């Protein structure tokens, strides 16, 4: 039972997005922010990294009911409800046996009755944006309005206007990248290309974690599949690397411009050929230590960088999440259930082998992310502000929020500047929230620039140019789009 | 000799608390903050964790002179003066031989002449509040006003209106928790209950550090006393746990709702019964390593959580202080002399054994504090925003300050929300400063909410509800009061 | 090739420094900041720690061309350009073979065409200040104005008014400290003293790193020179310490008031005489481990502190830079080429041996700096707010910036107060930027104080006093000037 009761119903509150939301309240700064935002609010969306499902755009089928679309897959939402004592089953969150028996409307009501829990969170801001802008609802979500919300959204989702391709066009998404593993099929991407649809580009990112991380639960089976798919002896070092090279080319063929690597740490290595091959032998025999596994992941980042110099893929490193912290929940529900927690992450020594090997190579582009904000000013901005091959990814995951983005700019700009950053990543599987997320990022960046202008630290013409760069140009340049 | 001379006397400055103090100066935000604060400024004070002396309320005797009340016991004050080259003896701070010979008025003058050292510190804000609100003084403390201050305060402290119970009623303190060790007497609490006084509840918190930390200087003697008091063989694992269970019940009987644990790290453990018993044997024979001691403290947090599930006590963890950093001062003056320094504190791996064991249990409530602000957004908000059993304690000790509280809200709210936090703790032994401390917390929270409203990130009715929750309701709920 | 193109030329933008730059835009705060700044803007500059060349002031020769003066020696500038794919050789940055062949005007044009990269950085602010205030240029630097800039600056630099001593006087620099190593000549300082010039004091700081760090590339040769210079057997522990004592006296004789120590970590040690001598033997035979080297550096901080108690030199500790991170660049270009990166730095345990030995000694003054902002509120402010011998250095290097300075005040003031800090250090070799850097610091401090006043956390007369203390008095007091 949650400790806090939902607020008493009373009046049904109006729900309109304020046109100045997220801008500073100081009139000088607010007016500048307005002026900058006016120029970027209508720019197309570039979504160069995320986790939407390519089958949505290939099949273009209607989404499911509101609970299925908004609650069951969104760990931002159910982690908050879970933390307050609610059961995931009541929200329709799938466990290892599939979707639990639940009443979607009751799940929605539970969520609506506890909407106050999300006050001050980015989820609240994204959801309000979706409800108002995508569904045109003008009342606040609460116990009182839950049914009305459910009906309006449910009806809309059944219409043609709310099919994935229609939404992609309405959202003005110029390009979206999904993420697929080495052994995932690219059939949906191929189908999209074959369909001749011109409403937006859908590309992928090559994420080989399951065949790169020896401690991944699917490593063994994924390796076997990988070898079969690529026609290579992936249990030999040479064949393994060749399989990656070939698979990267498959991804490139459907438009992919980046790889992505979600390791526990940022560690990289620069082993000799002999050392690397010896290590690989230990890995594939299964007779390896935790340190061997770590070293193998480290070396593979350098191998991927080497391939990037040849084939041009941008290398993304997303380190620092302690995955599946809640053992019981992992046992019952599996991965990605809101129990991932950031850890302290070191970059200076960790990235040194890779950066010493390839960091001065202008052909290479490495984008580094962090969940450890202490590294912004201390490690990442100084590194990105020096190495030609390194750029700094935007505020990520738990820090993809107004305060998180503000801290990102405040702590990175003075050392790395704006032009060693890469624009915004929504990094989401919540397709309907993508415009909301980019809107928040644009508003926060315009507010940051407005402060610099209002404090006479930048001139207005420069802020105009930067607003467009941060909203659109930098992402296209950094991801080679 | 201090490096900086006190400012030249000149005019005697007026000293009035501004009604808008701590509110943003931006008129939009200030007006909202005023509106929110108006609603909470008069709410009763809930002080669920602190270090006042229960004998004050039991005996209701007058406090001593101004130096004895304000300077000698307040490490916030004498650490600052010590850092600038003043001697503790001159301030009447007790050493291992007791209270040193000193002239209380001269001590007060020394403090007053150096009041500029406290500019920008929370101590300055608390003291100004006490001087103005509790004693009605309208001049600033300085060398020039030192004697007048001393006389006014000294006279007031001798009056009935300034006895502990009268002040508790005047301060509108609904409930205050003291902190007692396992072997401390609860006689004063019993006396308060027996007295029939209805001016405010005084409860305790169970703090067993001296019989849980094998490296505590009093561990051996405390264990013997503990066994005698509880009539248990505390040198057997079973008897030791039973003694804790019984002692917790004694505390519960005088109204206690929480235990408190001040360990060096946040480490927890989940040993098997056999492992735990074997470890305990090493501990009680004295034949243990530093790692054994650390593991024992870690395991005891889990044991306490297990007992909490049975008896309902809320479990508070206060880790991360490197105690008695100054070896010479510790040798001459003992504990709590301003030489405690925070250290980097890891939570993700440290809390994992406990949270994996009991973190999903809705009956349990664990409140975690930190002195390491880097853990707010990186570790603690994600953990508290997921586990049903865990809540996040407020900005603590060195961070119990306007900037510290602001950072706390900015870095925790977006991931943990407001409802996984627990309101304010004053955590003080400075009884007269309690209203000042709660007032600062309420003003800072109202200012934070005002910014959210002014930036259209929250609606005003929600901010009103939250202002009351943060000032009053959350503390009562989290501490089961 | 840089990823981002320079902005299109178009109009030539005007370039005037705004009189309210860096002040808050909120009118209440801005007006207070203006009032405070008016009082300190004209104060003489105290530059107690930096890296200018004493020969400038001894010989008083004209500086070189604009590229030679502004680009080639300034790692803040060429690290940014390097990070965006430009070659150091094109900017005239010296490598191990000396100054590369380059066209200074073309280098300047390259810099000017990419001036947008510096938006939002302190370098941009410093440069704009120098261009406007020192050279009187009223157009923004860009591709279009590059040649005009070059000509104006080049002509000015050839005039008598832009010789070092004239600039020192024009800049109102009351005192400047250079930094010399143990084996560096002090001839320029002696020449300045002998010259009878009264335009400003030029002193040095004793930086013995090359003969204290056994892992320094010049350690062996520097030790031999050190012994010869001082006439001591520096390969005996006694002779080595005596050589330091004598050399410190040489520095004191030309006005030096501080030593400076740039170690990798903040570690200190308190070895017995026998242990120290045994360790020294290992060091001088070259038969030492990395841990021995670290321990020796640690012990030497304590030895230097012991000497400071005798001879009065203030001890500065500048730890935490991972030097020469880019191996290839170090091989080709040597030290100080923009590839130094901060690392996480621990202080609580690291400083304990030194502080336990001498931290309570009021005769000693230790100023500690950090590149790890997480230590401000967690470690350094609590330590400086307790130990009489320790003070906290200002925001340093990567954090010597408006946001960095603001964070410094926000995270240190509430625990350490203002009077355990030491004013501003420009720490620069860019002589012409010194007024700009002090101006930024004064503006940021006045803005911080203005916020405290506007939020009724400090009264205006106190802010006035503090503005002068932070701009001038504290530096003089802390460095015993």
Nearest-CA distance from A146 to chain C in Å?
Answer: 41
Cβ-based contacts of C359 with chain B (< 8 Å): 326
Residue range C62-162 forms a domain whose CATH class is mainly alpha
Which candidate from A24, A117, A399 shows the least CB-CB separation from B377? A399
User: Quick check: C452 and B374 CB within 8 A?
Assistant: no
Residues of A in contact with B28 (CB under 8 A): 25-26
- Beta-bridge mates of residue B202: B176
Q: Which of A97, A35, A103, A36 minimizes the C-alpha distance to A67?
A: A103
Is A456 within 8 Å of C20 when comparing Cβ atoms? Answer: yes
Average pLDDT (B253-282) is 98
Q: Shortest Cα distance from A290 to chain B (angstroms)?
A: 16
Question: In this predicted model, what pLDDT tens digit does every residue of C181-219 receive, in sequence order?
Answer: 999 999 999 999 999 999 999 999 999 999 999 999 999
> Which 3-state string (H, E, C) describes chain A?
CCCCCCCCCCCCCECCCCCCCCCCCCHHHHHHHHHHHHHHCCCCEEECCCCCCHHHHHHCCCCCCHHHHHHCCCHHHHHHHHHCCCCHHHHCCCECCECCCCCHHHHHHHHHHCHHHHCCCHHHHHHHHHHHHHCCCCECCCCCCHHHHHHHHHHHHCCHHHCHHHHHHHCCEEEEECCEECCCCCHHHHHHHHHCCCCCEEECCEECHHHHCCCCCCHHHHHHHHHHHHCCCCCCHHHHHHHHHHHHHHHHHCCCCEEEECCCCCCCCCCCHHHHHHHHHHHHHCCCCHHHHHHHHHHHHHHHHHHHHHHCCEEEECCCEECCCCHHHHHHHCCCCCCCEECCCCCCCCCHHHHHHHCCCCCCCEEECCCCCCHHHHHHHHHHCCCCCEEECCCCHHHCCHHHHHHHHHHHHHHHCCCCECCCCCCCCCHHHHHHHHHHHHHHHHHHHHHHHHCCCCCHHHHHHHHHHHHHHHHHHHCCC
Chains contacting A (3 or more CB pairs within 8 Å) = B, C
C-interface mutation test, from A349, A374, A415, most C Cβ less than 10 A away:
A415
B26 touches chain A (CB under 8 A): yes
How large is the average pLDDT for residues C235-262? 98
Q: How far apart are the C-alpha atoms of C64 and B157, rounded to whole Å? A: 72
Task: Answer yes or no: do C398 and A384 touch at CB < 8 A.
Answer: no
Nearest CA in chain A to C28: A26
Q: Check if C373 contacts A (Cβ < 8 Å).
A: yes
**Cα angle A224, A225, A229; round to 5:** 125
Nearest CA in chain C to B397: C415
Give the torsion through C-alpha atoms of B356, B359, B363, B367, to 10 deg: 140
Q: Which residue of chain B is at minimal alpha-carbon distance from A79?
A: B386
What confidence score (pLDDT) does residue A11 get?
52
A85 interfaces chain B, CB cutoff of 8 Å:
yes
The interface predicted TM-score of the complex, written ipTM, equals 0.96
Q: How many residues are there in chain C?
A: 481
Distance from CA of A222 to the nearest CA of C (A): 36
* Helix/strand number for chain B, H first, E second: 22, 11
User: What phi and psi, each to the nearest 5 degrees, are found at residue A139?
Assistant: -120, 155
| Per-residue model confidence (pLDDT) at position B11 | 52
Q: Does C158 touch chain A (CB under 8 A)?
A: no
pLDDT surpasses 60 at A9:
no
Res B14: pLDDT: 73
Contact, A368 vs A390, CB < 8 A? Answer: yes
- With 50 as the cut, is the pLDDT of residue A110 above it? yes
Distance CA A441, CA A405 (A): 7
pLDDT tier for residue C373 given thresholds of 50, 70 and 90? very high
Q: What is the DSSP string of C151-202?
A: HHHHHHHTSGGGSHHHHHHHTTEEEEE--EETTS--HHHHHHHHHT--S-EE
pLDDT at position A69? 96
Residues of B in contact with A372 (CB under 8 A): 374, 378
Q: What class, spelled out in words, does domain A27-62+163-478 have in CATH? A: alpha beta
* CATH class label, B27-62+170-478: alpha beta
Distance from CA of A402 to the nearest CA of B (A): 8
- Say if the Cβ atoms of A117 and B417 lie within 8 Å: yes
Residues 6+ positions from B168 with CB-CB distance below 8 Å: B57, B176, B199, B200
A255 touches chain B (CB under 8 A): no
For residues C253-279, average pLDDT: 98
Q: Quick check: A386 and C339 CB within 8 A?
A: yes
Q: Is B401 on the interface with C (CB under 8 A)?
A: yes
| Per-residue pLDDT tens over the stretch C394-430 | 999 999 999 999 999 999 999 999 999 999 999 999 9
B357, B361, B476, B469: which is closest to A82 by C-alpha? B361
Q: Counting Cβ atoms within 10 Å, is residue B420 exposed (0-12), middle (13-18) or buried (19+)?
A: buried
How far C293 CA lies from chain A's nearest CA (Å)?
A: 19
Per-residue confidence (pLDDT) for residue A16, from 0 to 100: 82
Q: Does residue C262 sit in helix, strand or coil?
A: coil
The 10s digit of each residue's pLDDT in B49-74 is 999 999 999 999 999 999 999 999 99
Q: Which of C372, C382, C468 is nearest to C417 (CA)?
A: C382
Helix A402-416, helix B402-416: angle, nearest 10? 120
Kind plus residue range of the DSSP H or E element containing B60: none
* Interface mutation target, options B266, B345, B362, B378, chain A, most CBs of A under 10 Å: B378
pLDDT, position A12: 61
Cβ contacts (< 8 Å) between A26 and chain C: which residues? 25-26
Dihedral class, residue C341 (left if φ above 0, else alpha if ψ from -120 to 50, else beta): beta
- pLDDT mean over A432-453: 98
Q: What's the whole-number average pLDDT of chain B?
A: 96
Instruction: Write down the mean pLDDT value for chain A.
Output: 96
In terms of pTM, does the model score above 0.90?
Answer: yes
Query: Nearest-CA neighbor of C70 among C7, C118, C13, C10?
Result: C118
In this structure, are residues C227 and C211 in contact, taking their beta carbons and an 8 Å threshold?
no
Among C3, C338, C373, beta carbon nearest to A378: C373
Q: From C363, which residue of chain B is nearest by alpha-carbon distance? A: B1
Nearest CA in chain C to A347: C343
**Domain B27-62+170-478 matches domain B63-162 at the CATH topology level:** no
pLDDT in tens, A327-364: 999 999 998 898 999 999 999 999 999 999 999 999 99
CATH class (in words) of the domain with range C205-421: alpha beta
Best of C12, C114, C119, C454 to disrupt the A interface (most A CBs within 10 Å) is C119
Q: Which of B149, B50, B9, B84 has its CA nearest to residue B400?
A: B50
State residue B12's pLDDT score: 60
Q: What is the mean pLDDT of residues C143-169?
A: 98
What's phi and psi for A316, nearest 5 deg? -100, 130
State the Cα–Cα distance between residues C358 and C365, nearest whole angstrom. 10
C8 confidence band (pLDDT: 50, 70, 90): very low
Measure in Å the smallest separation between the Cα of B368 and chain C Cα atoms.
17
- Find the closest chain B residue to A328 by CA distance: B356
Cβ of residue B480 closer than 8 Å to a chain A Cβ: no
pLDDT digit string, tens, across residues A51-91: 999 999 999 999 999 999 999 999 999 999 999 999 999 99
Percent of chain A scored above 70 by pLDDT?
Answer: 98
Query: How many interface pairs between A and B have CB atoms less than 8 angstroms apart?
Result: 139
B312: enclosing H helix or E strand? none
What does the pLDDT average to over C249-267?
Answer: 98
Which of A33, A344, A391, A414 to mutate to probe the C interface, most C CBs <10 Å?
A414
H/E stretch holding C368 reads strand C366-368
Over the stretch B10-38, which tens digit does the pLDDT of each residue have?
A: 456 777 899 999 999 999 999 999 999 99
Rounded Cα distance between B182 and B221, Å, is: 12
Whether residue C29 lies within 8 A of chain B, CB to CB, comes out as yes
Centroid of chain to Cα B72: 18
Q: What is the CA radius of gyration of chain C?
A: 23
- Determine which helix (DSSP H) or strand (DSSP E) holds C314, and give its type and residue range: strand C314-317
User: Residue A13 has what pLDDT?
Assistant: 74
Give yes or no for residue C92 having a pLDDT over 60: yes
Averaged pLDDT of chain C: 96
Which 110-149 residues of chain A touch chain C by CB within 8 A?
none
Q: What's the order of all strands across the beta sheet hosting C314-317?
A: C180-181, C206-207, C258-261, C314-317, C366-368, C390-392
Instruction: Judge whether B25 is closer than 8 Å to chain A, CB to CB.
Output: no
Q: Is there a contact between C13 and A360 if contact means CB atoms under 8 Å apart?
A: no
Whole-angstrom distance, CA of residue A131 vs CA of residue A156: 11
| Contact partners, residue B418, CB within 8 Å, separation at least 6 | A119, A120, B466, B469, B470, B474
Chain B residues within an 8 Å CB radius of C349 = 322, 343
Q: Where are the domains of chain C?
A: 62-162, 205-421
CB contact under 8 A, A477 and C4: yes
Q: A338 in contact with B at a CB cutoff of 8 Å?
A: yes
Give tens-digit pLDDT for B79-125: 999 999 999 999 999 999 999 999 999 999 999 999 999 999 999 99
Fold topology of B63-162: uronate isomerase, domain 2, chain A (1.10.2020)
Residues of C in contact with B341 (CB under 8 A): 348, 379, 382-383, 386
Residues of C with CB below 8 A from B17's CB?
456
Residue C136 gets the label, from left (phi > 0), alpha (psi -120 to 50) or beta, of left
From the list B20, B116, B328, the residue facing C360 with the nearest CB is: B328
Chain B residues in contact with A23 (beta carbon < 8 A) = 455-456
Cβ contacts of B121 on chain C, cutoff 8 Å: 413-415, 417
pLDDT at C133 over 60: yes
Q: In what order do the strands lie in the sheet with A201-203?
A: A45-47, A173-177, A201-203
The most distant pair of C-alpha atoms in chain B lies apart, rounded to whole Å, by 72
Q: By CA distance, what is A323's nearest residue in B?
A: B348
Put simply, the answer to whether A140 touches B459 (Cβ < 8 Å) is yes
Average confidence (pLDDT) over B270-282: 98
How far B203 CA sits from the closest chain A CA (Å)? Answer: 22
What would the pLDDT profile of C427-446 be if each residue is shown by its tens digit? 999 999 999 999 999 999 99
CA distance to partner chain C, nearest, from residue A58 (Å): 33
Q: Taking Cα atoms as reference points, which of C415, C474, C480 lies closest to residue B5?
A: C474
% of chain B with per-residue pLDDT over 90: 96
Q: What are phi and psi of B187, to 5 degrees?
A: -60, -40
- CB distance from A195 to chain B under 8 Å? no
Confidence grade of residue A7 (pLDDT, cut at 50, 70, 90): very low
């Amino acid at each position: 039972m949650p400790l806090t009761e939902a607020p008493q119903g009373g009046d049904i509150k109006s729900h309109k997005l304020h046109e100045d939301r997220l801008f500073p309240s100081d009139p000088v700064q607010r007016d500048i922010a307005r002026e900058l935002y006016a120029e970027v609010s209508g720019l197309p969306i570039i979504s160069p990294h995320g986790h939407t499902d390519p089958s949505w755009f290939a099949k273009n089928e209607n989404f499911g009911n509101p609970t299925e679309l908004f609650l069951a897959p969104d760990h931002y939402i159910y982690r908050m409800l879970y933390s307050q004592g609610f059961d995931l089953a009541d929200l329709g969150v799938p466990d290892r046996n599939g979707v639990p028996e639940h009443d979607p409307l009751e799940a929605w009501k539970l969520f609506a009755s506890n909407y106050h829990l999300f006050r001050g969170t980015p989820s609240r801001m994204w959801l309000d944006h979706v409800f108002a802008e995508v569904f045109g609802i003008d009342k606040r979500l609460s116990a009182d309005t839950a049914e009305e919300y459910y009906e309006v959204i449910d009806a809309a989702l059944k219409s043609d206007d709310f099919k994935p391709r229609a939404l992609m066009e309405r959202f003005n998404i110029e390009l979206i990248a999904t993420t697929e593993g080495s052994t995932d099929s690219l059939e949906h991407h191929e189908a999209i290309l074959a369909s001749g649809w011109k409403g937006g580009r859908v590309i992928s990112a090559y994420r080989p974690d399951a065949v790169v991380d020896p401690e991944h639960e699917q490593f063994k089976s994924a390796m076997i599949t990988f070898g079969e798919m690529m026609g290579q002896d992936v249990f030999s070092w040479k064949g393994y690397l060749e399989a990656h090279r070939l698979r990267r080319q498959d991804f490139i063929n459907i438009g992919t411009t980046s790889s992505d690597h979600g390791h526990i740490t940022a560690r990289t290595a620069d082993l000799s050929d002999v050392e690397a091959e010896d290590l690989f032998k230990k890995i594939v025999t299964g007779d390896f230590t935790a340190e061997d596994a770590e070293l193998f992941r480290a070396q593979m980042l350098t191998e991927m960088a080497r391939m990037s110099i040849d084939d041009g893929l941008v290398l993304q490193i997303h380190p620092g999440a302690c995955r599946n912290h809640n053992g019981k929940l992992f046992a019952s529900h599996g991965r990605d259930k809101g129990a991932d927690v950031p850890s302290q992450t070191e970059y200076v020594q960790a990235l040194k082998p890779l950066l010493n090997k390839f960091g001065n190579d202008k052909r290479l582009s490495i984008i580094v992310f962090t969940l450890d904000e202490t590294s912004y000013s201390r490690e990442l901005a100084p590194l990105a502000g020096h190495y030609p091959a390194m750029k700094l990814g935007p505020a990520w995951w738990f820090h993809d929020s107004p305060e998180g983005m503000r801290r990102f700019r405040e702590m990175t700009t003075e050392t790395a500047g704006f032009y060693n950053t890469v624009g915004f990543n929504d990094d989401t599987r919540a397709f309907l929230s993508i415009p909301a997320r980019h809107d928040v990022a644009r508003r926060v960046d315009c507010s940051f620039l407005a402060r610099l202008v209002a404090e006479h630290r930048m001139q207005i013409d420069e802020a105009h140019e930067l607003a467009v760069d941060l909203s659109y140009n930098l992402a296209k340049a950094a991801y080679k789009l």
